[in-house]
């Protein structure tokens, strides 16, 4: 079921393939827009921030970011407070962690700052790219709420979530709360 607000989809490195929950959610939302950076495989933070900016066409949107996309979305949000209704930041990576992608060095400069819009960070207790405590610290720095969803790995295709209905329920509840807010 579509949310009452538009979605701006910000995948992680390599984009989100057809079996990824993000792509499946996008398919159910007729007004969803996916960012279009120059490269999914050799990501550049400034390019991804520009891609988020180009994709956000209405203030009645929720950014739905995953992994590396969380860092790009958060950087854009910090520069553009109040331009969207909210953000769902799923499985943000630890930019200084040992498994951070070496092809994304510019993303290490994405210093966490207050987002200026309601946001939720969703994290897994066994994410190989970000310890739960680091994800919680990011949420605090961003001024975001925090939801721990158990042992779901990196909350990606390897997690075998399909449409990830429990994640979609979190999004829908968040969207309903934002739709009722007076701007």
- Give a three-class secondary structure readout of 44-113: CHHHHHHHHHHHCCCCCEEEEEECHHHHHHHHHHHHCCCCCCEEEEECCCCCCCCCCCCCCHHHHHCCCC
Compute the average pLDDT of residues 13-31.
Answer: 92
Phi, psi at 17, each rounded to 5°: -70, 175
Residue 5 pLDDT grade (very low, low, confident, very high; cuts 50, 70, 90): confident
| pLDDT tens column, 145-160 | 999 999 999 999 889 9
Residue 69 pLDDT grade (very low, low, confident, very high; cuts 50, 70, 90): very high
- Is the Cβ–Cβ distance between 130 and 70 less than 8 Å? no
Provide the whole-model pTM: 0.95
pLDDT of residue 48: 98
Domain residue spans of the chain: 6-179
Q: What is the rounded average pLDDT for all residues in the chain?
A: 94
Residue 3 pLDDT grade (very low, low, confident, very high; cuts 50, 70, 90): low
Q: What is the CATH number of domain 6-179?
A: 3.40.50.1820
| pLDDT tens column, 116-153 | 999 999 999 999 999 999 999 999 999 999 999 999 99
């Amino acid at each position: 079921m579509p949310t009452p607000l538009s979605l701006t989809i910000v995948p992680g490195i390599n984009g989100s393939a057809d079996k990824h929950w993000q792509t499946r959610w996008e398919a159910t939302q007729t007004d969803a827009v996916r960012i279009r950076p120059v490269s999914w495989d050799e990501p550049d933070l400034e390019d991804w921030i520009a891609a988020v900016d180009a994709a956000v066409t209405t203030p009645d949107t929720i950014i739905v970011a995953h992994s590396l996309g969380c860092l790009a979305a958060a950087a854009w949000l910090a520069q553009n407070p109040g331009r969207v209704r909210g953000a769902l930041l799923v499985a943000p990576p630890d930019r200084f962690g040992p498994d951070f992608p070496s092809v994304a060095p510019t993303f290490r400069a994405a210093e966490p700052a207050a987002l200026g819009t309601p946001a939720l960070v969703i994290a897994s207790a066994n994410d190989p790219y970000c310890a739960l405590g680091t994800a919680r610290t990011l949420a605090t720095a961003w001024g975001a709420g925090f939801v721990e969803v158990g042992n779901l790995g990196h909350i990606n295709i390897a997690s075998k979530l399909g449409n990830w209905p429990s994640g979609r329920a979190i999004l829908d509840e968040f969207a309903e709360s934002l739709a009722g807010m007076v701007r």
